[in-house]
C-alpha cells in the first residue's frame, strides 16, 4: 500500500488520523477467516462455528488487556466510535438523563461527540454545556470546574483532538466529574493509537474507539463500559443474540456484552483486529509514542521555517497531528497541490465545525503521523509546502 506512486510521485501518507494503513498480518487474518473459518458465531454446534466463536472472543479478551478493563464482558463491539457514543446516548442517556439535567462537552469535540448529545437534549429537555478553549487549543480547566454542578449527569470529552492533536487532562476531568456524581465518556478514537490508555487507572465510565485508527479494519468499533453501569442500561437494538428468551408477550435480555450486540456481528473484522493489537503490542506503545513525538517535533521545526506557515493548535501536550494553514491560501487548494506531489493530507473542518468557528477558521490542512512514517517524508512535505507558499507570495 505504501510502496506506490500517486500522480507519478512516491506516496507520502500523512492522513493517519482519518485511518491507518493495515499490516500484512491483519490482511492475512481477514482473508484467513474467509478462506478457512467462515461461520456464524455463538449459536453453532459444528467445528467451524466453534473456531470462529473462539477467535472472535479471543479478540474481545485482547481488547480487555489492551485497555486494562477488569473483564472481557465490559467490551462491546460496535461499528465505530460514532456508534459507541450513540449507544451510550440512546441507552444510558434516555434512561438516566432527564429534563434540566446537564451534559458537558468541550469546544474541540468531533461531531460524533456533539450531535448525539444535542439529539438527547432536544428529546428529554436536558442542557448541553461547553468547555471553552484557549487560542493554543487547550481546554480552560477552571472554566470546566465552574460548569460542574449537582445537575451534571455526564461529561463526554475527547482524549486527544483529531484536529489539533491536543491531549486533554482527562484524569483530572474524570475525578472532578465524579466528585459531583457525573459519569464520564472518553472519546478515544485518536488517543488509543498513540497513548497508553488504562481504563481502570483513569476510572472512566465509558471509552469509545475504532479499529481502523489502530491499524485494523474499518467498520468496527469498541465501547468499554463499567459492568455496574452496563448492567442497568437498556438494550440498544433488538433482535437475535441480545435475548435470552422471546415470547409474543415478553422478551428477556441477554447478559453483557451480548445485550448490546444484536444480530450477526462483524465477525471477520473482529477476528482480524486481534492482529492489529498484536502489531501494536509487538512494537510497544512507548516505542510508538517516542517515534511519533520525534516526527512531530521535526515537522514543527521544518514547517515553522516556511514563510506564510500558520500553525493551528499549539498545546503543550499533543499526539502526532500538525494542523496548519498557508497565509492567503484556502486549505483545500493546499491539499490538492500536495496531492499532486503524492502527499496525502486531510483538509477542511475535520468534523469539528464548532472548533473552527471558535478559531475563526474555515478549515486547516492536517498532517498526521504513524509508525511507518519517516523524517524524509516530512522533508518532502516541507519542501512541497514551501514551494506552494512561494507560488502564492510571488
Tally of residues, the chain: 394
Tell me how far CA of residue 318 lies from CA of 101, 216, 292, in angstroms. 32, 23, 10
The C-alpha R_g of the chain, in whole angstroms, comes to 22
Element (H, E) at 333: helix 331-340
CA 378 – CA 300 distance, rounded (Å): 10
Within 236-359, residue ranges assigned H as helices are: 267-283, 285-304, 331-340, 353-359
Residue 363 exposure: Cα atoms within 13 Å on the Cβ side: 16
In the set 351, 361, 372, 392, the catalytic residue is: 351
Q: What angle do CA 377, 380, 382 make, to 5 degrees?
A: 110
* Catalytic (active site) residue 204: no
Question: What is the C-alpha end-to-end distance of the chain, expressed in Å?
Answer: 37
CA 260 – CA 75 distance, rounded (Å): 10
Coil, helix or strand at residue 210: strand
CB atoms within 10 A of CB 266: 19
Q: Which residues are part of the catalytic machinery?
A: 351
Amino acid at each position: 500500500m505504501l510502496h506506490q506512486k500517486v500522480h507519478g510521485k512516491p506516496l507520502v501518507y500523512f492522513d493517519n488520523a482519518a485511518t491507518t494503513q493495515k499490516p500484512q498480518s491483519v490482511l492475512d487474518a481477514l482473508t484467513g477467516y474467509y478462506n478457512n473459518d467462515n461461520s456464524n458465531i455463538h449459536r453453532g454446534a459444528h467445528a467451524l462455528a466453534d473456531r470462529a466463536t473462539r477467535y472472535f472472543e479471543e479478540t474481545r479478551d485482547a481488547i480487555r488487556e489492551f485497555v486494562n478493563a477488569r473483564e472481557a464482558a465490559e467490551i462491546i463491539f460496535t461499528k465505530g466510535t460514532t456508534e459507541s457514543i450513540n449507544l451510550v446516548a440512546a441507552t444510558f442517556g434516555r434512561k438516566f438523563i432527564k429534563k434540566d439535567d446537564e451534559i458537558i462537552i468541550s469546544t474541540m469535540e468531533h461531531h460524533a461527540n456533539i450531535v448525539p448529545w444535542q439529539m438527547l437534549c432536544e428529546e428529554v429537555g436536558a442542557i448541553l454545556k461547553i468547555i471553552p478553549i484557549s487560542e493554543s487549543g487547550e481546554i480552560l480547566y477552571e472554566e470546566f470546574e465552574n460548569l460542574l454542578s449537582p445537575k451534571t449527569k455526564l461529561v463526554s470529552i475527547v482524549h486527544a483532538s483529531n484536529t489539533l492533536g491536543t491531549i486533554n487532562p482527562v484524569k483530572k476531568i474524570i475525578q472532578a466529574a465524579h466528585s459531583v456524581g457525573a459519569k464520564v465518556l472518553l472519546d478515544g478514537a485518536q488517543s488509543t493509537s498513540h497513548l497508553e490508555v488504562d481504563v481502570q487507572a483513569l476510572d472512566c465510565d465509558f471509552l469509545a474507539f475504532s479499529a481502523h485508527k489502530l491499524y485494523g479494519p474499518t467498520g468496527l468499533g469498541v465501547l468499554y463500559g463499567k459492568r455496574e453501569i452496563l448492567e442497568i442500561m437498556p438494550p440498544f437494538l433488538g433482535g437475535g443474540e441480545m435475548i435470552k428468551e422471546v415470547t409474543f408477550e415478553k422478551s428477556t435480555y441477554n447478559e453483557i456484552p451480548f445485550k448490546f450486540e444484536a444480530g450477526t456481528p462483524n465477525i471477520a473484522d473482529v477476528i482480524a483486529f486481534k492482529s492489529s493489537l498484536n502489531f501494536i503490542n509487538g512494537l510497544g506503545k512507548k516505542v510508538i509514542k517516542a517515534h511519533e513525538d520525534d516526527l512531530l517535533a521535526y515537522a514543527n521545526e521544518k514547517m515553522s521555517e516556511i514563510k506564510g506557515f500558520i500553525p493551528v493548535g499549539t498545546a503543550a501536550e499533543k499526539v502526532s497531528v500538525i494542523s496548519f494553514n498557508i497565509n492567503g491560501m484556502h486549505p483545500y487548494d493546499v491539499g490538492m497541490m500536495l496531492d499532486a506531489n503524492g502527499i496525502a493530507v486531510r483538509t477542511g473542518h475535520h468534523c469539528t465545525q464548532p472548533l473552527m468557528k471558535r478559531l475563526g477558521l474555515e478549515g486547516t490542512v492536517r498532517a498526521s503521523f504513524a509508525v511507518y512514517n519517516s523524517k524524509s517524508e516530512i522533508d518532502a512535505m516541507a519542501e512541497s509546502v514551501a514551494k506552494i507558499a512561494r507560488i502564492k507570495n510571488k
